[in-house]
Amino acid sequence: MKTCSAKPNVSTLKLTPGQRTLGGMIELTLDKPFGFGKDEIQRAFDDLAADLFWSYYAVEPEQLSVPKDQLPTERKFTGMLIDWLRQTQTWQAGHERTAGSLVHSALTANRMWSLLTDDDLIRQMLQNMAESAELDKQAAKKERSENKNSDSESDSSPSQSDGDGQDGDGQDGDGQDGDGDGDGDSDGQDGDSDNQSQQPKASSQELRKRANSKAAKAQQMFDKLTQSKHNEAFRAGFAQQAKTDASDSMEVLASWGVELDKIQPNDIGKIQNLLNRGTFERLSGMVELFGRAKGFAISGRIKSAERRGFVVVQDGFTQDIASIFPSERSMLMSSNPLLQAQATCEYADHGLMGMVKGHDTDKLGSLVIAVDSSGSMGTPVHLDINDDGFGRQATRHQSGSYSAEEVSKGLSLAITKAAKTFEQYYHMFLFGCGSGYDFVNSSTSDLDTLSWAGKQYGGGTDFDSALTKCVDIINNDVPEAERNNADVLFITDGQANISESVAEQLKNLKENRGTRFILMYIGSGISQVKHQFRHIFDAYIDVCSIPSFDDLSRQVTDALR
């Protein structure tokens, strides 16, 4: 991936000063670099992207057009290529959507640029064009050097001429140094021997000849491209594919709720990075699930608002003898000495199961979500994605084709979107095996939140550091007024140990602030997990036992306060 400005170095369009200023503020993201160290080649491909952007963005692109005979020589075939593409009805249909839209124009131009530069014939044509321009520059430089040396020889004595020639060639860079650099580049482009220092320096006439040869090759390639009947469908296909891919990306942004009319020029590069071909499939799956879960999340927040104001009584561990369940209390008086000893130790340590009084829920606490981003979260989750009750089917995925990452992030995005709607503070972060945590919270923009969802860690899973981070967030990052009665949703597909010191921190947070820890587990062996973490988590959601994503959405949102 590389970036370039939407302000071209050399344009084939008549851009106004205002347009060039705006272009300088817009960063276009390209799938791949070209040039391999040769600046002129790279600039040619960058300028293609910039001119494509303006061809899509301009409301009346014909006003920017330059006649063929007035195109800049160094970008002649860029202008002819874009003009050839614009002659299709498919391009015109796509332009109706992109005109005046920074985001849509940038996404469509980026996709068209990728399609064009993936084609061998077009890529070689543009490279020959750029190499011809570079050779022309070298020829002009050589001519100046030759003329300068010629003037020196005619005006000076032989001894003075030798000295001036050395000064001119060495110090001014027009002699041996300049020719060596220039000829080396051009020889490399032509595929000549790498041992260029042993070859004679090319004269200006030789450089001109090679430049013309490159330009002739570019012309032949353009003729081959445009004169084939097969390529009529070929160029229409390019325009259609670019239009379709960009529209899909715009749909993802709109579904997530990004307000496109508020996008700033400096956001364009961020959006293109977000929707590149490497992350688009994952993000589109997350956003689709987000759309399905959002309604359940909103409903859950409404139910929560109705419940608040009452004191909650729930199951939990207690050392109040009167509140302990009879079956648990009987173990303290068991005739089996081993069972009695075990029950006594558990009672002294953390209490036995019984009815406990929850914290006053008059004030809704914050929401903290920890999402596992280890490598195993890319495995499929077999949830039925069927009709949602409104006659709408899943549009992109079939049953069981969502990954654990898509399910966890899609659901988390919906929950936090609902929390934001109801002005509940949230803090959501990714964790893996390292010490870094990418996070978003209630103050994060929709665009940055979507960018967060596209990130991955890989590697293993570390529960201790992630749970410690949850404690730190509630004690330090959450606003003081919302630190009590917080819910922590911990989403993972792995199993890891939790140290005694971390368990003690969680216990203190529960007792002092009324925090609840909910485990959403995407894996097998839930019985073992419940037993291992029976003193850690207050509720468990076993994803593998839930038949559909809609049922999962209901269970998760109902588990939250």
Residue 300 falls inside a structural domain:
yes
What pLDDT, on a 0 to 100 scale, did the predictor assign at position 391?
40
Residue 348 and residue 488 share a domain: no
> Rg of the chain over CA atoms, in angstroms?
33
Q: What would the two tokens of residue 245 be?
A: 């891919």
Residue 130 falls inside a structural domain:
no
Residue found under tokens 């020959």: 128
Q: What would the two tokens of residue 23 be?
A: 């272009």
Residue 324 and residue 198 share a domain: no
Round to whole Å and give the CA distance between 75 and 484.
64
Residue 439 and residue 297 share a domain: yes
Residue found under tokens 């109705």: 306
Q: What would the two tokens of residue 11 be?
A: 């344009």
Category of 403 on φ-ψ map: left (φ > 0), alpha (ψ -120 to 50) or beta: beta
The length of the chain, given as a count of residues: 561
How many domains is the chain partitioned into structurally?
4
Residue 455 falls inside a structural domain:
yes
Closest by Cα among 95, 165, 179 to 135: 179
Tell me how far the alpha carbon of residue 329 is from its chain's centroid. Answer: 55
What angle in degrees, to the nearest 10, is found between the helix axes of 158-171 and 176-190?
Answer: 50
- Of 226, 254, 289, the last residue of a domain is 226
CA dist list (Å): 526 to 230, 313, 379, 516, 520: 59, 25, 18, 19, 10
Q: Model-level pTM? A: 0.64
Residue 263 falls inside a structural domain:
yes
What pLDDT, on a 0 to 100 scale, did the predictor assign at position 478?
92
Round to whole Å and give the CA distance between 511 and 515.
8
Residue 132 falls inside a structural domain:
no
**Could you tell me which residues are beta bridge partners of residue 315?**
355
| Interacting residues of 11 by C-beta distance below 8 A, sequence separation 6+ | 47, 50, 51, 54, 72, 75
Which residue range forms the structural domain that includes residue 420?
281-310+361-559
Residue 544 and residue 444 share a domain: yes
Residue 503 and residue 372 share a domain: yes
Round to whole Å and give the CA distance between 318 and 494.
29
Round to whole Å and give the CA distance between 344 and 338.
10
Residue 320 and residue 215 share a domain: no
Residue 326 and residue 424 share a domain: no
CA dist list (Å): 66 to 8, 21, 47, 175, 536: 15, 20, 15, 37, 70
Q: What would the two tokens of residue 130 be?
A: 């750029």
Tell me how far the alpha carbon of residue 552 is from its chain's centroid. Answer: 27
Residue 218 and residue 75 share a domain: no
Residue 245 and residue 199 share a domain: no
Q: What would the two tokens of residue 194 be?
A: 């790498």
Helix, strand, or coil here: 179? helix
Q: How many other CB atoms are there within 10 angstroms of residue 524's CB atom?
A: 12
Convert 12-70 into a string of H (helix), E (strand) and C (coil).
Answer: CCCCCHHHHHHHHHCEEEECCCCCCCCHHHHHHHHHHHHHHHHHHHCCCHHHHCCCHHH
DSSP designation for 87:
T
Consecutive 10-residue averages of pLDDT for the chain (561 residues) = 89 94 89 68 93 93 90 94 89 87 88 90 93 91 80 56 42 39 41 44 88 95 82 78 81 73 75 70 80 81 62 66 78 75 78 66 79 87 59 44 88 91 91 76 88 79 91 93 92 88 94 93 87 90 88 89 75
Residue 135 falls inside a structural domain:
no
- Of 188, 203, 226, the last residue of a domain is 226
Residue 120 and residue 55 share a domain: yes
Round to whole Å and give the CA distance between 556 and 171.
74
Q: What is the CATH number of the domain that holds 529?
A: 3.40.50.410
Q: How many other CB atoms are there within 10 angstroms of residue 491's CB atom?
A: 27
Longest dimension (CA), the chain: 124
What pLDDT, on a 0 to 100 scale, did the predictor assign at position 79?
95
Strand locations in 461-556 (E) = 487-492, 516-521, 539-542
φ, ψ of residue 358 to 5 degrees: the values are -75, 170
- Of 193, 226, 259, the last residue of a domain is 226
Residue 511 and residue 397 share a domain: yes
Question: Pairing relation of β-strands 439-441 and 516-521?
Answer: unpaired
DSSP designation for 458:
-
What pLDDT, on a 0 to 100 scale, did the predictor assign at position 507?
93
Residue 80 falls inside a structural domain:
yes
Closest by Cα among 1, 126, 92, 106 to 50: 106
Buried b / exposed e over 33-63, threshold 16 CB at 10 Å, is ebeeebebbbbbbbbbbbbbbbbbbbeebee
Residue 456 and residue 354 share a domain: no
φ, ψ of residue 315 to 5 degrees: the values are -70, 145
| Interacting residues of 195 by C-beta distance below 8 A, sequence separation 6+ | none
Residue found under tokens 């014909």: 62
Alpha helices for 479-548 (secondary structure H): 500-513, 526-532
Residue 92 falls inside a structural domain:
yes
CA dist list (Å): 547 to 305, 499, 555: 28, 33, 12
Round to whole Å and give the CA distance between 129 and 192.
18
What pLDDT, on a 0 to 100 scale, did the predictor assign at position 360?
47
